[in-house]
Amino acid sequence: MAVEIGPSPEMYLKSLFELTRGHAPVPISALAERLGHSVVSATEMVHRLERRGLVAHEPYRGARLTSDGATHARTLLRRHRLWERFLTDELNLPWESVHDLACQLEHAVGEEVTEALDRRLGIPATCPHGNPIPRSGPTPAASARTLADMKPGEHAELEAVHPESGPVLAYLAQHGLRPGAAFSLESIEPTDGLRVIGVSSTRVAFGPELAARLRVRPASGPGRGGGARGDERRA
Amino acid sequence: MAVEIGPSPEMYLKSLFELTRGHAPVPISALAERLGHSVVSATEMVHRLERRGLVAHEPYRGARLTSDGATHARTLLRRHRLWERFLTDELNLPWESVHDLACQLEHAVGEEVTEALDRRLGIPATCPHGNPIPRSGPTPAASARTLADMKPGEHAELEAVHPESGPVLAYLAQHGLRPGAAFSLESIEPTDGLRVIGVSSTRVAFGPELAARLRVRPASGPGRGGGARGDERRA
DNA sequence: ATGTAGTTTAAGGTCGACCTTAAACAAGGT
DNA sequence: ACCTTGTTTAAGGTCGACCTTAAACTACAT
């Protein structure tokens, strides 16, 4: 069991999982873009994964994880997020850089280490970027609402950065924005749909694509002022 | 700096380092055997590493690390042993299995993580198998004396398992023998040179090759009886 | 001085994971 | 019905990391 699989196929499974919205297949071009590969290469890989029974490919529509594939992807994501927690909580590495670091570590460990790590970390509920750590049992539904869905004047709190990536996290870190931060949407610029938000006396702008990657929830308290405040470790 | 290098070349550097005795070149056949590769493949790799300036190859004698190569190997060994400590000390994974696990992790992290890990672990002096963790500055000379050098009747204490490997550690674990354990050499069998030692009322036998991998030092105290006792974390 | 054991080179093979360019094809809007 | 856009297939390439078999060669001990 556990089906030997290399780092590269694993990245595909993970990306596929992350890019999946609802029940729709993910266009291969989207996959390719996320991984920085050519579309042809991505198609090749999808075929390889299909032969292994991990993804189902609907021609001209996209690829979807089979349940085997989804299981595998979930454990990968689990490892990834646990490592992220380890790197921030135990090694005190910067919030915005642990994503890329964890991308290496996730392929280097099996179940043994993963579970031990989970216990060691106190069975955390989310990664440092606000995403839930998959465990046995259904994953708690993440809020579907993002910054892109908000209307000017609304107040909210950053819940998570969903498809994570180095550059995105760097941008957020640069402006002191972290899960838990309260903010308000000040305006949506007519040109390019730029979202300008106010976070503790600063203004930060986000393009529509980035905005769609910022999951939000109604501001919890009157917001204890904070910009760069932490993230919750429990659900 | 840091010269991009993959897991496989890294394993070669590490093995080369571990197999080096004094100043002599390591025969490629020995390298190949340690890695479980064919001699031809090992030769190929040595060439690749030579082109990169990491090893020097003396035809028909063997390969030696250049100073660049040695530096690289040392940092690899450093990562490896730090991960071993992490896995045993923090995750409570079994002593005999952390070697193989660390073999994966060592290729998945850079300097940032390594140094943070080191600090986090309290700058440990040795790995769980008794080998010193390389740091800047000269590595403390490991005792050159092994079980293979002992005479019947002698008492000693296990200091380290030097070239480590899964099966060797498994054998030791099976017999409750760990660094720090005191024992006496009871006999050397004339056939096959088997070393039979007494450890806390048990007898365990070692072939000559294994014996040469067990570094020993004079028993420290009257040995608080112990078989399966720990290992020191400080020099 | 010679022979054997250990080393090296040569030649050819496989597999995975990428790339490019170019052609064939399907979906969906006008 | 057509045309554009996005998708897939085909063809050929590269590179790294392994493999085998077979021939050439060296070191060293007898």
pLDDT in tens, B62-80: 999 999 999 999 999 999 9
Distance B49 CA to D11 C1' (A): 34
Greater confidence, A35 or A23? A35
**Interchain pair A109, B104: CB under 8 A:** yes
Distance B40 CA to D24 C1' (A): 15
Greater confidence, B1 or A35? A35
To which H or E segment does residue A205 belong?
strand A202-206
Greater confidence, B137 or A179? A179
Partners of A195 in beta bridges: A188, A206
- State how far residue A11 is from chain B, nearest Cα, in angstroms: 15
Has residue B121 got a pLDDT over 80?
Answer: yes
By Cβ distance, the residue of A91, A108, A113 closest to B116 is: A91
- State how far Cα A225 lies from the chain centre: 26
**Interchain pair B120, A90: CB under 8 A:** yes
Mean pLDDT of the region A1-11: 85
Mean pLDDT of the region B148-152: 93
Partners of A196 in beta bridges: A187, A205
Tens digit of pLDDT for each residue in A70-100? Answer: 999 999 999 999 999 999 999 999 999 999 9
Tens digit of pLDDT for each residue in A147-189? Answer: 999 999 999 999 999 999 999 999 999 998 999 999 999 999 9
By Cβ distance, the residue of A92, A93, A108 closest to B105 is: A108
| Predicted pLDDT of residue B223 | 42
Bridging pattern class, strands A195-199 and A202-206: antiparallel
Residue-wise DSSP of A112-143? HHHHHHHHHTT--SB-TTSPBPP-SSPPPPPP
What value does the mean pLDDT of chain A take? 90
Q: How far apart are CA A150 and CA B209, in angstroms?
A: 70
Q: Are A191 and A157 in contact (CB under 8 A)?
A: no
Q: How confident is the model at residue A1 (pLDDT cuts 50, 70, 90)?
A: low
Has residue B224 got a pLDDT over 80?
Answer: no
Fold of B147-218: SH3 type barrels. (2.30.30)
Has residue B22 got a pLDDT over 90?
Answer: no
Q: How far apart are CA A157 and CA A180, in angstroms?
A: 6
* Three-state SS letters, B108-136: CCCHHHHHHHHHHCCCCCECCCCCECCCC
What value does the mean pLDDT of chain B take? 90
Tokens for B79, please give them.
């990562």
Tokens for A122, please give them.
């106190």
Q: Are B99 and B129 in contact (CB under 8 A)?
A: yes
Q: Can you tell me whether residue A230 is helix, strand or coil?
A: coil
Closest nucleotide (C1' vs CA) to A6 is C16
By Cβ distance, the residue of A97, A108, A110 closest to B108 is: A108
In this complex, is the C-beta atom of A76 within 8 Å of any C-beta atom belonging to chain B?
no
Q: How confident is the model at residue B2 (pLDDT cuts 50, 70, 90)?
A: low
Q: How confident is the model at residue B226 (pLDDT cuts 50, 70, 90)?
A: very low
Q: How confident is the model at residue A50 (pLDDT cuts 50, 70, 90)?
A: very high
**Which of B29, B25, B43, B14 has the alpha carbon at shortest distance from B165?**
B14
Q: Can you tell me whether residue B215 is helix, strand or coil?
A: strand
Burial class (CB in 10 A: 0-12, 13-18, 19+), B219: middle
Distance B109 CA to C16 C1' (A): 23
Q: Are B140 and B32 in contact (CB under 8 A)?
A: no
Has residue A233 got a pLDDT over 60?
Answer: no
The four Cα atoms B62, B68, B74, B80 give a dihedral, to 10 degrees, of: -90
Partners of B111 in beta bridges: none
Q: How far apart are CA B151 and CA B191, in angstroms?
A: 16
Of the listed ranges A109-113, B46-50, B87-91, B191-195, the least confidently predicted one is: B191-195
For A98, nearest residue in chain B (alpha carbons): B113
| Predicted pLDDT of residue B222 | 54
Distance B19 CA to D12 C1' (A): 43
- Protein-covered nucleotides on strand D (Cβ within 7 A): 6-11, 16-22, 26-27
In this complex, is the C-beta atom of B93 within 8 Å of any C-beta atom belonging to chain A?
yes
- State how far residue A174 is from chain B, nearest Cα, in angstroms: 20
CB pairs under 8 A between A and B: 45
For B117, nearest residue in chain A (alpha carbons): A91
The domain ranges of chain A are 7-65, 147-218
Has residue B213 got a pLDDT over 70?
Answer: yes
The CATH number of the structural domain formed by B7-65 is 1.10.10.10
Count of C-beta atoms within a 10 Å radius of residue B87: 25
Greater confidence, B168 or A227? B168
DSSP letter at B86 equals: I
| Predicted pLDDT of residue A193 | 87
Has residue A232 got a pLDDT over 70?
Answer: no
| Predicted pLDDT of residue B234 | 47
| Predicted pLDDT of residue B219 | 80
Of the listed ranges A25-34, A76-85, A223-232, the least confidently predicted one is: A223-232
Q: How confident is the model at residue B195 (pLDDT cuts 50, 70, 90)?
A: very high
| Predicted pLDDT of residue B132 | 95
Distance A16 CA to D2 C1' (A): 35
Express as a percent the part of chain A with pLDDT over 70: 90
Mean pLDDT of the region B195-208: 93
By Cβ distance, the residue of A91, A113, A120 closest to B113 is: A91
- State how far residue A123 is from chain B, nearest Cα, in angstroms: 13
Has residue B37 got a pLDDT over 90?
Answer: yes
In a mutational test of the B interface, the residue from A79, A83, A88, A91 whose CB has the highest number of chain B CBs within 10 Å is: A91
- Protein-covered nucleotides on strand C (Cβ within 7 A): 6-11, 16-22, 26-27
Q: Are A92 and B116 in contact (CB under 8 A)?
A: yes
Q: Are B93 and B84 in contact (CB under 8 A)?
A: no
Distance A39 CA to D2 C1' (A): 27
| Predicted pLDDT of residue A151 | 93
Has residue A112 got a pLDDT over 80?
Answer: yes
In a mutational test of the A interface, the residue from B8, B82, B91, B95 whose CB has the highest number of chain A CBs within 10 Å is: B91
Dihedral sign, Cα of residue A36, residue A42, residue A45, residue A46: positive
Q: What is the pTM of this model?
A: 0.90
Closest nucleotide (C1' vs CA) to B25 is C7
**Which of B221, B230, B208 has the alpha carbon at shortest distance from B150?**
B208
Has residue B91 got a pLDDT over 70?
Answer: yes
Greater confidence, B16 or A200? B16
